[in-house]
Amino acid sequence: MEMIKKGAEAEIYLSTWMGRRVVIKRRIRKGYRIKELDEKIRKQRTRREAILMAEARKAGVAVPIIYEINNFEMEIVMEYVDGERLKDIIEKLDDNEKRRICQEIGKSIAMLHKNGIIHGDITTSNIILRDGKIHFIDFGLGMKSAENEARGVDLHLLMEAFNAAHADERLFRWVMGGYKKNFEKGNEVERKIEEIVRRGRYMRRVE
């Protein structure tokens, strides 16, 4: 196996499984936790992520196919989405393609949120473009929620990612256009995002 990423919670490997090219996500043991507690936490988080991905796929959102869950190694074996990170290519696209992709992102997030799924880490690094189609990866921080606060935070993170890395305000507007078109509570969530932005500004002033 070839390690392609190491984070605080998990290691990501590129490997093969049953003749397929796959990604293996292995949750790292935390030495500061009691062994039994550590195993319980890692098993729960591994299972939760797999469930969220399965539910996202059922909701019509493109995510990697899960091939196996290994509770002994705390691993998820999943499809390798052979594409490009949106972060790396969005600046190279023409405006029509940028708009199309952003609207598709908004539509996909709407489908997640309508089904009570919060991704938890929506950034342009966690969106893969393959053959013109977007795929969401890394549901490790995801959860189930039907609260507009959670939905707003989910989208606000993407807004911040766009602002930090791409400096094009149209991108998030296009995302929200696709989102509101496909989610009846889109306007409520948009107001929640505006509230989150105001709270952030207030906290910065207080500091």
Q: Identify the residue whose tokens are 């996500």.
A: 25
Is residue 169 located within the same domain as residue 95? yes
* Residue with more model confidence, 204 or 191: 191
pLDDT-derived band at 204 (thresholds 50, 70, 90) equals low
Contact, 69 vs 46, CB < 8 A? yes
Contact, 51 vs 103, CB < 8 A? no
pLDDT-derived band at 165 (thresholds 50, 70, 90) equals confident
Is residue 14 located within the same domain as residue 49? yes
Is residue 69 located within the same domain as residue 89? no
**Which among 61, 79, 97 is the end of a domain?**
79
Is residue 176 located within the same domain as residue 132? yes
Q: Which sequence positions are flagged as catalytic?
A: 121
CA dihedral 62, 60, 73, 42 (to 10 degrees): 110
Is residue 153 located within the same domain as residue 55? no
**Which among 79, 113, 142 is the end of a domain?**
79
Is residue 67 located within the same domain as residue 97? no
Domain with residue 17: its CATH number is 3.30.200.20
CA distance 54 to 66: 8
Can you give the residue range of the structural domain that contains 50? 2-79
**Which among 79, 101, 135 is the end of a domain?**
79
Q: pLDDT tens-digit profile of 32-74?
A: 889 999 999 999 999 999 999 999 999 999 999 999 999 888 9
Among 29, 27, 26, smallest CA distance to 77 is for 26
- pTM for the full model? 0.92
Q: Flag whether pLDDT at 31 surpasses 50.
A: yes
Q: 113 vs 46, 52, 72, 145, 175, CA distance in Å?
A: 21, 12, 31, 8, 14
Q: Flag whether pLDDT at 15 surpasses 90.
A: yes
pLDDT for 1 equals 81
pLDDT-derived band at 205 (thresholds 50, 70, 90) equals low
Domain with residue 180: its CATH number is 1.10.510.10
Inter-helix orientation angle 148-165/169-181, to 10°? 150
pLDDT for 206 equals 47
As for how many domains the chain has, the answer is 2
